Structure 1
């Protein structure tokens, strides 16, 4: 934890020991920190899932575009080269 600037300290109380953690600049008790970490992991998982979904959708759209391009250019059993100003043979 200390590598990332977080610290932990313990103190003895009548009932046992209390551990406090300084995480992201705030002192928190362990149960509070555990709750916050569960929420943070859930949020990061949601964000990552959205990014993964976007990457997959982009990949599938690109794949479909290339497939359609290939179908357009492959006519009557032979490849028909593209036309346009940059595609002179």
Structure 2
């Protein structure tokens, strides 16, 4: 959108109007990056179509939550080699 304004009067002298670059009026969905140890709240963003000069902002938030960690701990007697107890931890 290109507008020319008269610097003396402040009036618009030329307004070419709004047009989409390459006639593209949409945003494609984007895949959420994989981050080791975390899970994204959505696999991808949502595609947006039908954009015009009056379209509202489109904000999409994807939250990453840490994955649960687990471990199995065994307590072993050094002398006898017997397992005294075992615990599953998170």
TM-score, normalised relative to structure 2: 0.24
**Which gives a bigger RCO, structure 1 or 2 (Cα 8 Å, sep 6+)?**
2
Structure with more of its chain in helix, by fraction: 1
